[in-house]
Structure 1
Amino acid sequence: MKTKAAASLYATMSISFWGISFVSTKAVLDTLDPYTLLVMRFAIGALFLFMLLVVKRYKLTIPLKYIPHLIILGVLGVFIHQVIQATALLTIDASSAGWMISFSPVFTVILSMMFLHEKMTLPKVLGMIIAITGVLMVTTAGRGQSIGFTVNIGYLLMILSTLNWAVYSVLLKKLRIELPSLVITFYMSLLGFSLTTPFLIRNRGWEGISQLSNVEWAHLIFLGVFVSGIAYWYWAKALEVLDASKVSMFLYLEPVTTLIAAILLLHEKIFLISILGGVIIIIGVVIVNGQMISVLHRFLWRKR
């Protein structure tokens, strides 16, 4: 039980960092193009993870049989995923991106049933419905608009991003790479840096880097250390214990953290319905993970 609780905490922390990342990415995109932003982010993340590996005295050598696995995961979960999201944020706002990414668990559950033989249970279905309801309440609060997708390439890219992330999460679980999650994360971040560097050279990205303000540098360091480094590492640790479909349900919390970050950093207004929606999202995630049912069972048993 303690192991599952720790895994849930790791997943929650990852989602919190990723939720804030939409706001930080949006802030830095005012000065840097998406590829230059990603090069810097992956470079900072890889350096941070390397220092952790040295401190923990982990071996950097990896068996040859795992190299294709790491390349596949790095391309899908790091390079393609981050390029798609950064490009999407050029045309949509941060809160909309948080809304779109919350649909990733739907794809993850379907893929988990197909490839990991995970069961679809009534609590999972109920939790998904409740969480999606909360997401829609949070992201449409105060806008005075009907729920729907605007014809915008950014929204289409975010839908593709949710499917891509679902594939990444299932593969990370399915491939069963017998290496420490920190080592896996380091090599994926290093691969992301290697794949995006040619684009920085093509776009003369160093010109934009020299124009970054102190605030933008703070956002960039946060993206590198906490988002590309710690968040990916903790997500892998959570998948070591929990089913892919259960871990993916924590993505429902992402719009909440994005909303809070937007309020604090961008000074957006807060609405009561947003708070209510956030509470409903948390209830949905708890139900999906079976913790609500377990708590109720212990409560009723004690009453007897």
Structure 2
Amino acid sequence: MFSKPRIKAYLYLTLVAFIWGLAGPVIKYTLGGISSLPFLTYRFAISSIVALISFNFIAKRKLNTKEWFIVIIYSLFASTFSLYFLFIGLEKTTMLDTALITTFNPLLIAVAGFLVFKDKITSREKVGIALALIGTVIAIIQPLIENENSIRLQGNIYVVLYLLTNTIAAILAKKLTKLDIAPLFITNFSFIIGFLSLLPLSIYQNVNFISIISHLELRYHLGVLFMALISGNLAYTLWVKGQKSIEISEASLFSYLQPIFSTPLAILWLKEETSKTFFLGALFIIIGVIIAETKKRRITD
């Protein structure tokens, strides 16, 4: 019988998986009305306002110079770099490709944990990771296999860069857990860094925010608001709460629920089409994930 804190954690993380599963299609749809850089800057601006308010309710302590440095570097990778690559990727590729490629993310983090922290990876997990990697490569080069234009391939490469920067952020996050810094403070601070780091780039590229925001249709404003408040502040808060009562390895399993929500939306809402190559890549990834994570779950139990 599960304890109440564990059941709460499961509910929180399932809701987060649902929200982040919706996030990809929402980003893709909203990019139809506003390009990636102003979209992301606008999103971080809203999240930053909420973050500044939330600081009044978050217990925090004074950080030393080294701790501030790590927090800022983490924020750059977790917000600025990773989401910038994701948004550009979604601007160029399909939601289906993105969902397939990002399924490899938990396994990539496991590999990084092995390389950086010497975390144990069993032979079974190595086989699963190898199969999932084959499926991911198939998903990445799918445009070449199907003789499509290079823009979609570029998008897939940007999604891979998102995976790499997100993995670096995960490694830094693990280091931060040892420093006794409030996770909610780190998360909300990363939104502010995201805004402050992207704003100069937007100004450099002559992005006229007043004109863009004033002429933006309501449906696209709603997309930005969803990403800022629901997928941003709310989801990250629930994610942090969900992590408190269960193991990190167990919490990572919930990320595999995201494609269950994003894939139907990509097909039914965005009208994207699947192909034989897509199903081939998905098959390798699904088999690889099952092999790798089934053993890990048994060990956790």
Question: Which category of TM-score, normalised to the shorter sequence, fits these structures?
Answer: 0.7 to 0.9
1:110/1:131 Cα in 2 relative to 1: closer, same or farther (>3 Å)? closer
* Structure 1 SS opposite 2:92: coil
2:297 maps to: 290
1:279/1:219 Cα in 2 relative to 1: closer, same or farther (>3 Å)? same
Q: Aligned ranges for residues 219-258 of structure 1 at < 5 Å?
A: 219-238=223-242, 245-258=249-262
Unaligned runs of 5+ in 2: none
1:99/1:147 Cα in 2 relative to 1: closer, same or farther (>3 Å)? farther
1:30/1:222 Cα in 2 relative to 1: closer, same or farther (>3 Å)? same
Q: Aligned ranges for residues 176-195 of structure 1 at < 5 Å?
A: 176=177, 177-195=179-197
* Structure 2 SS opposite 1:266: coil
CA shift, 1:182, in A, is: 1.5
CA shift, 1:253, in A, is: 2.5
CA distance in 1, matches of 2:16, 2:120: 25
Backbone CA RMSD of aligned residues: 4.0
Is residue 108–residue 244 contact of structure 1 (8 Å, CA) maintained in 2? Answer: no
Range with bigger deviation, 82-91 or 177-186:
177-186
Is residue 173–residue 244 contact of structure 1 (8 Å, CA) maintained in 2? Answer: no
CA distance in 2, matches of 1:147, 1:194: 40
Q: Aligned ranges for residues 50-69 of structure 1 at < 5 Å?
A: 50-54=52-56, 57-59=57-59, 62-65=62-65, 66-69=67-70
1:91 maps to: 92
CA distance in 2, matches of 1:289, 1:76: 27
TM value normalised by structure 2? 0.76
2:113 maps to: 112
Per-residue CA deviations over 1:195-243 (Å, capped at 9, x if unaligned) read 1112333322332212222211111111001222223334444555656
Match status 1:209 vs 2:213: yes
Is residue 127–residue 285 contact of structure 1 (8 Å, CA) maintained in 2? Answer: yes
Is residue 149–residue 155 contact of structure 1 (8 Å, CA) maintained in 2? Answer: no
CA shift, 1:6, in A, is: 4.4
Is residue 101–residue 136 contact of structure 2 (8 Å, CA) maintained in 1? Answer: no
Is residue 127–residue 288 contact of structure 1 (8 Å, CA) maintained in 2? Answer: no
Is residue 131–residue 252 contact of structure 1 (8 Å, CA) maintained in 2? Answer: no
1:84/1:252 Cα in 2 relative to 1: closer, same or farther (>3 Å)? same
CA distance in 2, matches of 1:133, 1:16: 27
1:7/1:163 Cα in 2 relative to 1: closer, same or farther (>3 Å)? farther
1:266 maps to: 270
1:171/1:242 Cα in 2 relative to 1: closer, same or farther (>3 Å)? farther
Per-residue CA deviations over 1:158-202 (Å, capped at 9, x if unaligned) read 112112212211220123241222211111111111111123333
Amino acid at match of 1:100: I
* Structure 1 SS opposite 2:215: coil
Amino acid at match of 1:287: T
Per-residue CA deviations over 1:40-97 (Å, capped at 9, x if unaligned) read 111222233444444xx32466423421121011100100001101111121011211
Query: What is the aligned length?
Result: 287
Is residue 100–residue 158 contact of structure 1 (8 Å, CA) maintained in 2? Answer: yes
Range with bigger deviation, 161-170 or 188-197:
161-170
* Structure 2 SS opposite 1:90: helix
Amino acid at match of 1:85: L
2:163 maps to: 162
1:164/1:135 Cα in 2 relative to 1: closer, same or farther (>3 Å)? closer
Is residue 49–residue 182 contact of structure 1 (8 Å, CA) maintained in 2? Answer: no
Is residue 19–residue 256 contact of structure 1 (8 Å, CA) maintained in 2? Answer: yes
TM value normalised by structure 1? 0.75
Q: Share of identical aligned residues, percent?
A: 20
